[in-house]
Amino acid sequence: MGEKLRIWTAVKHGLDVNLTRADRTTGLVRVESAPRKTSDFDKNAVEEAVRVRERLGGVVTAISVGGPAAREALREAIAIGADEAILVTGDRWAEWDTRAVARLLAAATRKLGGFDLFLLGEGSTDHFAGLVGPRLAGELRCAGIAYARRLTAAAEGVVVEKDLEKEVEVVRAAYPVVVSVGQEINTPRIPTFMANLKASKKEVRVLGPPDLDVPAEALAPVVVVERVAVPEIPRKQQTIAGTTPDEIAARLRDALRGEGVLP
């Protein structure tokens, strides 16, 4: 690292999965018009970035790749405590896939002088592919650590507890390193009224692919979403009622016996 720790954090303004609805007749989700919000795990990443700065000093740069509304995610990042905000956008942002996003993030870090620690969510709430962090590390040929549940940063590098399915792996890496975090790493602070007010006045630096020397062809989607549908699983939706808990219990037991699912 140089004199000051350079901490980057990426935030996605993704679809709000709790508010997306499927069309009743077709079962298709209209993704274009669905409400958006800041992806949950990215807030954990911003919080962790701010905590590292609070301990070690440095600068936290929040970056979002997306449309004009992604300013909202950057505003939230600033309110949590990021120092500066960058929006990477372009006419065709809506078709940028995880490859395009990772390439733009990589290009931005190269263009703007590099980083020591790059923190982002291990998956976005809407797409949940878990690819952008590892792709970014691969693209930059630098250390990558995904599924971080605990992070200890020092002047020269990080120690991360990585949450695997059945194990916890403790991993050490020197800077620069890309770390993808899960929800369990911290509880993001709720910004104060003043922090929110200040954040809404903060200037956002807007960059397009040409500013980052990324040609349009390099961003053409290689994975295209053709349709998003909510699968309809038929359920009986039978109400079991009765005058006493025992009566209800006996009725349910009989129903389950009828289904053949009791031992």
Partner 1 sequence: MSDERLLCVSEEPEVAVALVRLARSLTGPGTGRVVAVVLPGSAPDAAERLAAAGADEVRPVDGPALTDPHVVADLLAEIVAAVSPSVLLVGSTKRGREAAGHLAGVLDLPATTGVTGLRLDADGIRVDREALSGNAVAVERIVRRPAIVAMMPGFSAPPAAPSPSPGRVRQPPRATAPLTERTELRPKAGGQLEIEKADRIVTIGRGLRKKEDLPIVEALARALGAEVGCTRPLAAEAGWLTDDHWIGLTGHRVHPALYVAVGVSGAVQHLVGMRSSRVVVAINKDPNAPIFAQADYRITGDLYQIVPALTKALGG
Ligand X SMILES: Cc1cc2nc3c(=O)[nH]c(=O)nc-3n(C[C@H](O)[C@H](O)[C@H](O)COP(=O)(O)OP(=O)(O)OC[C@H]3O[C@@H](n4cnc5c(N)ncnc54)[C@H](O)[C@@H]3O)c2cc1C
Q: How many CB atoms lie within 10 A of CB 197?
A: 11
The residue within the footprint of partner 1, chosen from 24, 25, 164, 194 (CB under 8 A), is: 164
Identify which of residues 130 and 208 has a Cβ nearer to ligand X in the complex: 130
Binding partner of residue 98 among partner 1, ligand X, none, CB under 5 to 8 Å per kind? Answer: partner 1
- Alpha-carbon distance 175 to 179, whole Å? 11
Footprint (CB under 8 A) of partner 1, residues 27-86 = 29
- Alpha-carbon distance 82 to 76, whole Å? 9
Buried b (16+ CB within 10 A) or exposed e, 227-238: eeeeeeeeeeee
The residue within the footprint of partner 1, chosen from 51, 110, 150, 172 (CB under 8 A), is: 172
Site string for ligand X, 103-142 (x = CB under 6 A): ----------------------x-----------------
The amino acid sitting at 221 is: P
> Does 197 help bind partner 1 (rule: CB under 8 A)?
no
Identify which of residues 154 and 228 has a Cβ nearer to partner 1 in the complex: 228
Q: Which of 44, 49, 96, 48 is nearest to 70 (CA)?
A: 96
- Alpha-carbon distance 75 to 122, whole Å? 21
Identify which of residues 113 and 231 has a Cβ nearer to partner 1 in the complex: 231
> Does 120 help bind partner 1 (rule: CB under 8 A)?
no
Identify which of residues 73 and 106 has a Cβ nearer to ligand X in the complex: 73
Q: How many CB atoms lie within 10 A of CB 160?
A: 25
Q: What radius of gyration, in Å, describes the C-alpha atoms of the chain?
A: 22
Identify which of residues 125 and 186 has a Cβ nearer to ligand X in the complex: 125
Where along the sequence are the contacts to ligand X (CB under 6 A)? 40, 125
